[in-house]
Structure 1
Amino acid sequence: MNAAVATSVFGLFMIATVGLGLLAVRGRAGTGGGLAEWSVGGRSLGAVFVWVLMAGESYTSFSYLGAAGWGYNYGAPVLYVVAYMSCGYAVGYVVGPMLWRYARRHDLVGITDIIAHRYGRPWLGALVAVLATVFLLPYIQLQITGMGVVVSVISYGTVSLELGYFVAFAVTTGFVVVSGLRGSAWVSVLKDVLVIGTLGFLAVYVPTHYFGGYGPLLDRLVDEKSAWLTLPGAGGADSGLGTGWFVTTSLLNALTVVIFPTTVAGYLGARSADALRRNAIWLPAYNVLLFVPVLLGTAALFVVPGLAGADSNLALFRLVVDSLPAWAVGLIGVAAALSSVVPMAVFMLVIGTMWGRSVLSLVPRLRTRQKGAAQVVVVAAGVIALVMTYTVPNTLVRLSLISYEAMAQLLPMLLLGLVWRRFTLAGGLSGLAVGVATVCALVFSGHDPVWGINAGIVALAANLLVALGVTCAGSADRLDGRPDAEVLAQDSLDDRVSSGDRVSPDGRASPGRPRG
């Protein structure tokens, strides 16, 4: 009976999710937006939609499974997630509007588009698209796995993991192919309502139900599990999760998250640069929710002791499945499942956009069919991740170990290339090659952390040194067909326009009414 109730609640919400995603594009079929309408929402999303979309993309199934599991196994080290995301939003206050302006001026729809245009080399966009796809596919696989686990647990074992994986793929593909980024933003609204509601409830219910309140819970943690409350956590010095690791990982991820292809998709979907600035101010408030699964993970140490391996990721759900009515278990499962669906949709969308715009467009007969090509790639990416989840899941899991650290190696080529117009293609490519090679060598040889710090930051330092050295030794590239001064002046003008200022023909701005 419990299984039937929880599964019914889950099924109804999944149908509603697909319906909401499709409803998002009702009446927009004739807007003529093409790839831009599908991939970045026609660049028309206001601050609220950008907020829920980017919060939805960052708040994944890891928040319900991995964060609780890390809290259960290690304790304090998992708080790096809160640290890097909050710092990343501060960095995004500056970087987001800069990327938005450049993409808007040149009608670009993604990170590969921006890099290809910046250096005037279409093949470079294709190269970055292939590299980024390799490091994004693991995230699709992880969300498929996470949702499969959630579906199996909340159905009290009635639904198998394999069927849960397929449900994750089918629901996500069902709306993202048609509705694109706009549909993901609409579904994010439903997800955020459920996430805030369920985690707010659990933050009160679990300590009260199992311990009689926060006081007794925290007293037990201090008395019996004090190692979980300090770095390097319960894993001890051998885990490598000490202060150096915490600081360098938080720094690296804070810098990387602002140029992650999925984050850039959220930036480029915004209506204005001002919407991105407001969004960067509001987003850290969402991070308060991340303390809840971490706290519940540590609470599970006393309620369900002895969880090992992958079972530790179920710490949060073990607390609720046996103590809550089936309908409540179903709602919590829906919130966790949508925390897989929304980011998975954006990952698939970004991969499709990169390939449709930067790879397949190199074929002349596909150049005018970019949206259709991108939609085909979305399905293909989902199918590849699903098949590998069934057959060789460890392959993608190993790639996921270096995904953030490898994506960080694009930082000099993208950001330094935009702010320093004399940064050369040769410098960017040389640094990228050294950085990615260093990350792979250190991680796959078991040297992450290295000297107590994140291997990615070591690779990024080597990347930057090589890129600067090659750039200084070579000659500057000519960009956009215009001198640097003209480019920078146009950036300043675009910024004032996007903020709602009235700009006269001679370039002078006067205050105007800000746009939505």
Structure 2
Amino acid sequence: MQDLRFSGIDSIIILLAYAVIMVIIGWLAGRGENIGKSVSKYYLAGRNLGIITLFFTLYATQYSGNTIIGYAPQAYREGFSWIQSVPMLTIVIGVYLLYAPRLYTIAKKAKFITPTDWVRYRFQSKQVTILAIILMLWGIGNFFLEQIVAIGTAVSGLTGGTIPYGVAVIGFIIVMLTYEWLGGMKAVATTDVLQGSILLIGVIVMLIGGITLSSGGATSISENIAAIDQERIGVPDLFTNINWISMIVLAGFGAALYPQAIQRIYSTKSERTFKKSLARLAWMPPITVGVVFILGIIAIQLYPGLSVTESEEIIGLLANDIADLNLFYYWMMIIFFGAIVGAIVSTADSVLLSFSSIISHDVYGKYINSSASEKRKIKVGKLTGIVLVGLILWIAWNPPGTLYQIFVLKLEFLIQLVPVFILGLYWKRLSSGPVFWGMLIGAIVAAGMTIAGYETVFGIHGGLYGLTINIIICVVGSLMIPMNQEKRKKAEILTAIKTKTNNDLST
């Protein structure tokens, strides 16, 4: 990140204040709640998240500080065609509405804790459950790695190198583990409210500052860009349009199936609360990603001719120049960049909590020690969280040559869960055998294309080719080898939302 003119003691004070506040929130969230003795309270905040808290924790799950830092440079490089980022994240809300209300109703009756509880409950298959766990853990591990690297880069850049990359990563990991252990999901969701609200205000202030900097104001931005580089305001070609649609579908379905997002569904106080939160969240793509897109477009005019590497630092460049406008903008940029760090941490803590819950509840509690107490499961989850942190730290310091490929595979693997979470909710005839082979072959196709260097073919991502094959196998296989009458009747009972469901999640 661009070294900032306002980096120094002021920035360090803001970051320390954020760290202290987050630890205090964790302590307050866990005080007197016996959170460490109940998996429901620790991992799902007692299934009692209200409209505001749920809104901000979903917001923090979908938008990290890395979105602010990463999307603006992409808009700078691509120009107006990067407007795809707005519908790309808007469709996530539509996918939530497609499956989440129904899943919530069943989850509440069956008392689900983790995303794989639904998989086990619906398909009654150890093979399907374990494969789903592997796909989810791959996505979670990759997501966490991305956030850890972003934390170190953001803090180091914000403080002008006064706090080195390594110290920043370790310091904020300790802060994150502390408040998460103290308050579980409740602490994570409450800190999300703090980070999300400051991030929203900061983005808007930065937009106002950016427009102030641009010569002639908002009305002349397009004209000025046209004079610099007409290609960036031109109509996209057919290949770009196909790639748009591919990315919108990939991100829309993949991001809606983040394990940490599914657990937010389980944590909701009521279906009405969830729908109201989503109604408000639907405004966030244009308000957040749309504003970041405009900042990238403004930067084309302000900083023409930047290389790809240089363009990665345009948020820092903009923040420097906005901070120079007056004292108000100076402090707002300090607080805003502190919020970016906090938002990255808030995304990382959600991912870590989801990872711990899957390992402790699904792997340890179901397959290793089925008689373990809830308190012991939580302890195992905390310890495995430390192991994940250690592994990810090692990778972050020694990144493999295929790190970019792993990043690409995050959504392409998660989207293979579409038949399990969406088709399985509505189609009673979907059976476990075709689901297993569909997921496995779909993931292999997505991985094979990426490793071979074919992230897209004709503009379409490998994950979508994999998903197409996945769905065909699921549908054709379920029709050719139908379930027997007993299993079909059981599937109808398990997926019913108006009748009493079976709470037995054993395979």
TM over 0.5: yes
Match of 1:91 among 68, 92, 95: 95
Amino acid in the other structure paired with 1:126: I
Tell me, in whole angstroms, the C-alpha distance in 1 between the residues paired with 2:115 and 2:493. Answer: 23
Tell me, in whole angstroms, the C-alpha distance in 1 between the residues paired with 2:389 and 2:452. Answer: 30
Q: Which residue of 2 aligns with 1:265?
A: 263
Offset at 1:276?
1.4
Match of 1:224 among 212, 225, 228: 228
Offset at 1:486?
4.1
Tell me, in whole angstroms, the C-alpha distance in 2 between the residues paired with 1:395 and 1:171. Answer: 30
- SS at 1:65 equivalent: helix
Q: Which residue of 2 aligns with 1:148?
A: 152
Offset at 1:382?
2.0
Tell me, in whole angstroms, the C-alpha distance in 1 between the residues paired with 2:384 and 2:36. Answer: 21
Offset at 1:208?
0.5
Q: Which residue of 2 aligns with 1:295?
A: 294
Q: Encode CA deviations 1:239-274: one digit per residue, 9 max, x unaligned.
A: x6x000101221232222222212101111101111
Q: Which residue of 2 aligns with 1:398?
A: 405
The answer to whether the Cα contact below 8 Å between 2:493 and 2:499 also exists between their aligned partners in 1 is: no
Q: Which runs of 5+ in 1 are unaligned?
A: 496-516
Match of 1:249 among 241, 247, 261: 247
- Distance 1:268-1:220 versus aligned 2 partners, 3 A rule: same
Q: Which residue of 2 aligns with 1:113?
A: 117
Amino acid in the other structure paired with 1:452: G
Offset at 1:202?
0.7
Amino acid in the other structure paired with 2:120: A
Offset at 1:394?
4.7
Tell me, in whole angstroms, the C-alpha distance in 1 between the residues paired with 2:486 and 2:47. Answer: 25
Offset at 1:231?
5.6
- Distance 1:271-1:282 versus aligned 2 partners, 3 A rule: same
Residue 315 of structure 2 is aligned to residue 316 of structure 1: yes
The answer to whether the Cα contact below 8 Å between 1:140 and 1:344 also exists between their aligned partners in 2 is: yes
- SS at 2:460 equivalent: coil
- SS at 1:392 equivalent: coil
Q: Which residue of 2 aligns with 1:27?
A: 32
Offset at 1:344?
0.8
Offset at 1:296?
1.6
Tell me, in whole angstroms, the C-alpha distance in 1 between the residues paired with 2:32 and 2:380. Answer: 23
The answer to whether the Cα contact below 8 Å between 1:148 and 1:162 also exists between their aligned partners in 2 is: yes
Tell me, in whole angstroms, the C-alpha distance in 1 between the residues paired with 2:36 and 2:180. Answer: 18
Q: Which runs of 5+ in 2 are unaligned?
A: 1-5, 502-507
- SS at 2:335 equivalent: helix
The answer to whether the Cα contact below 8 Å between 2:140 and 2:351 also exists between their aligned partners in 1 is: yes
Match of 2:456 among 449, 459, 463: 449
- Distance 1:396-1:36 versus aligned 2 partners, 3 A rule: farther
Amino acid in the other structure paired with 1:20: I
Tell me, in whole angstroms, the C-alpha distance in 1 between the residues paired with 2:74 and 2:303. Answer: 15
The answer to whether the Cα contact below 8 Å between 2:99 and 2:425 also exists between their aligned partners in 1 is: no
Tell me, in whole angstroms, the C-alpha distance in 2 between the residues paired with 1:111 and 1:200. Answer: 35
Q: Which residue of 2 aligns with 1:338?
A: 342
Count residues in correspondence.
487
Tell me, in whole angstroms, the C-alpha distance in 2 between the residues paired with 1:58 and 1:153. Answer: 23
- Distance 1:485-1:117 versus aligned 2 partners, 3 A rule: closer
Offset at 1:438?
0.8
Offset at 1:469?
1.9
Q: Encode CA deviations 1:346-371: one digit per residue, 9 max, x unaligned.
A: 11111111111111121127732222
Tell me, in whole angstroms, the C-alpha distance in 2 between the residues paired with 1:5 and 1:393. Answer: 36
Q: Which residue of 1 aligns with 2:16?
A: 11
- SS at 1:95 equivalent: helix
Superposed CA RMSD in Å reads 2.5
> 181-190 or 284-293, which moves further after superposition?
284-293
- Distance 1:462-1:167 versus aligned 2 partners, 3 A rule: same
The answer to whether the Cα contact below 8 Å between 1:50 and 1:270 also exists between their aligned partners in 2 is: yes
- SS at 1:401 equivalent: helix
> 413-422 or 188-197, which moves further after superposition?
413-422
Residue 50 of structure 2 is aligned to residue 51 of structure 1: no
The answer to whether the Cα contact below 8 Å between 2:60 and 2:196 also exists between their aligned partners in 1 is: yes
Q: Which residue of 2 aligns with 1:371?
A: 378
Q: Which residue of 2 aligns with 1:514?
A: none
Residue 413 of structure 2 is aligned to residue 413 of structure 1: no
- Distance 1:246-1:390 versus aligned 2 partners, 3 A rule: same
Amino acid in the other structure paired with 1:438: V
TM (norm. structure 2) is 0.89
Tell me, in whole angstroms, the C-alpha distance in 1 between the residues paired with 2:474 and 2:124. Answer: 18
Offset at 1:230?
4.5
Tell me, in whole angstroms, the C-alpha distance in 2 between the residues paired with 1:229 and 1:44. Answer: 47
Tell me, in whole angstroms, the C-alpha distance in 1 between the residues paired with 2:465 and 2:497. Answer: 33
Tell me, in whole angstroms, the C-alpha distance in 1 between the residues paired with 2:336 and 2:184. Answer: 26
- SS at 2:161 equivalent: coil
The answer to whether the Cα contact below 8 Å between 2:105 and 2:271 also exists between their aligned partners in 1 is: yes
- SS at 2:283 equivalent: helix
